[in-house]
C-alpha cells in the first residue's frame, strides 16, 4: 500500500547509498531539526537518498519509512549476525560484566559479530552478553510475549525503544520479533496488518484493537497491553475499561484485526 511516509520525496532522491544506524537510538525526523516521526535502532539498514548540511534523507529497509537523520549517526553496512532479544542490554568495553559499558542496546538492536568471546560476542559497539541475544534468523512466536518485555517502558511519541515507545512502536517491535511485516504507524497497521474482523467478534490473544490514532494488542480475552499517554507507559489494562475510557475522549474503536500466524 502506498503511503506518504513510505514514499520518498522525488526532490530528495538519487543517491541510493546503503548505510546502517550506528548509534543506540536515532530519531527519524520529518525535516532537518524537525519533529520526530519514528526512531531507528543500532544496526538498522537504511538507504541514503539525499544529503544536505549534515543531514541524510533516508528510507528504512525494514518498513520503508522515510525521514531525516544526522549523517554522523550513520555507518557503513556490516553483515548483521545477531539481534538483542532481552528488553535491553549493553555493549561492554571488555568481555567482563564489570567492564565499562560503551553503549546501551534496546530490544531489537541488530549486531554484527566480529568474533566470539567467553560468554560474549565482540562487536564494533562492544562486547555483548550471549544471554541477551540470538542469531538474526531466529524469531519469536508470540507477539504478546514480546510486547510484555516493554512493560513500564515510558511512553514516548514516535518512540521505538526500551527507553521510550508509543502504541505503534510497541506493535511494530512485537511483530518484527515474530517475523511479521509491520508498518511504523497505527494507520498503516490498521490498513495492512492481518485479517479485519467483524464488529463484536470476541477478542483473542494477539488480536489488534484500533482507535483513531491508537492501537493495542490483546493479551487475553479480558486484557490488553498497550503503550499509551494516559498511563505514560506500556501497561496492561482491562479491555472493557480501555474501550470505555478511550471512547470518552477519542471515540469508538475503528477496527479489530487478527494477526497472521508468525512464520
- pLDDT, tens digit, 9 for 90 and up, residues 198-224: 999 999 999 999 999 999 999 999 999
pLDDT tops 60 at residue 128: yes
- Per the prediction, the chain carries an average pLDDT of 96
Q: Which fold has domain 4-75?
A: SH3 type barrels. (2.30.30)
How would residue 263 be classed by pLDDT, with cut points 50, 70 and 90? low
pLDDT in tens, 51-71: 999 999 999 999 999 999 999
Pairing of strands 195-196, 255-258: antiparallel
pLDDT tops 60 at residue 82: yes
Q: What angle do CA 145, 175, 191 make, to 5 degrees?
A: 130
Residue-range domain boundaries for the chain: 4-75, 82-135, 143-258
Q: Do the domains spanning 4-75 and 143-258 agree at the CATH topology level?
A: no
Q: Tell me what pLDDT residue 199 has.
A: 92
pLDDT in tens, 235-260: 999 999 999 999 999 999 999 999 98
Q: Tell me what pLDDT residue 109 has.
A: 98
SS (H, E, C) 27-94: EEECCCCCCEEEEEECCCEEEEEEEECCEEEEEECCCCCEEEEEHHHEECCCCCCEEECCCEEEEECC
**Nearest alpha-carbon partner for 125 in 106, 101, 96:** 101
pLDDT tops 70 at residue 105: yes
> Check: CATH 3.90.1720.10 for 143-258?
yes
pLDDT in tens, 149-184: 999 999 999 999 999 999 999 999 999 999 999 999
Q: Tell me what pLDDT residue 55 has.
A: 98
How would residue 262 be classed by pLDDT, with cut points 50, 70 and 90? low
Q: Tell me what pLDDT residue 16 has.
A: 95
Q: Tell me what pLDDT residue 2 has.
A: 73
**pTM given for the model:** 0.96
Amino acid at each position: 500500500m502506498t503511503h506518504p511516509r513510505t514514499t520518498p520525496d522525488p526532490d530528495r532522491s538519487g543517491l541510493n547509498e546503503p548505510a546502517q544506524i550506528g548509534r543506540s537510538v536515532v530519531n527519524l525526523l520529518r525535516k532537518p531539526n524537525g519533529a520526530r516521526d519514528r526512531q531507528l535502532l543500532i544496526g538498522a539498514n537504511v538507504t541514503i537518498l539525499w544529503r544536505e548540511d549534515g543531514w541524510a534523507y533516508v528510507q528504512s529497509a525494514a518498513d520503508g519509512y522515510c525521514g531525516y537523520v544526522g549523517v554522523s549517526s550513520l555507518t557503513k553496512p556490516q553483515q548483521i549476525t545477531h539481534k538483542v532479544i532481552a528488553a535491553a542490554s549493553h555493549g561492554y568495553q571488555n568481555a567482563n560484566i564489570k567492564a565499562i559499558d560503551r553503549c546501551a542496546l534496546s530490544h531489537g538492536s541488530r549486531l554484527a559479530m566480529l568474533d566470539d568471546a567467553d560468554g560474549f560476542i565482540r562487536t564494533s559497539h562492544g562486547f555483548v552478553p550471549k544471554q541477551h541475544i540470538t542469531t538474526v534468523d531466529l524469531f519469536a512466536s508470540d507477539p504478546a510475549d514480546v510486547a510484555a518485555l516493554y512493560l513500564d517502558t515510558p511512553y514516548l511519541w514516535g518512540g521505538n525503544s526500551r527507553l521510550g515507545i508509543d502504541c505503534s512502536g510497541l506493535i511494530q517491535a512485537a511483530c518484527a520479533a515474530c517475523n511479521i511485516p509491520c508498518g511504523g504507524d497505527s494507520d498503516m497497521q490498521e490498513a495492512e496488518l492481518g485479517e479485519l474482523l467483524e464488529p463484536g467478534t470476541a477478542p483473542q490473544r494477539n488480536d489488534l484493537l484500533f482507535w483513531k490514532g491508537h492501537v493495542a494488542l490483546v493479551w487475553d480475552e479480558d486484557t490488553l497491553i498497550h503503550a499509551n499517554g494516559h498511563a505514560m507507559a506500556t501497561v496492561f489494562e482491562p479491555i472493557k475499561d480501555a474501550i470505555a475510557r478511550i471512547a470518552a475522549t477519542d471515540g469508538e474503536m475503528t477496527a479489530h484485526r487478527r494477526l497472521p500466524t508468525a512464520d
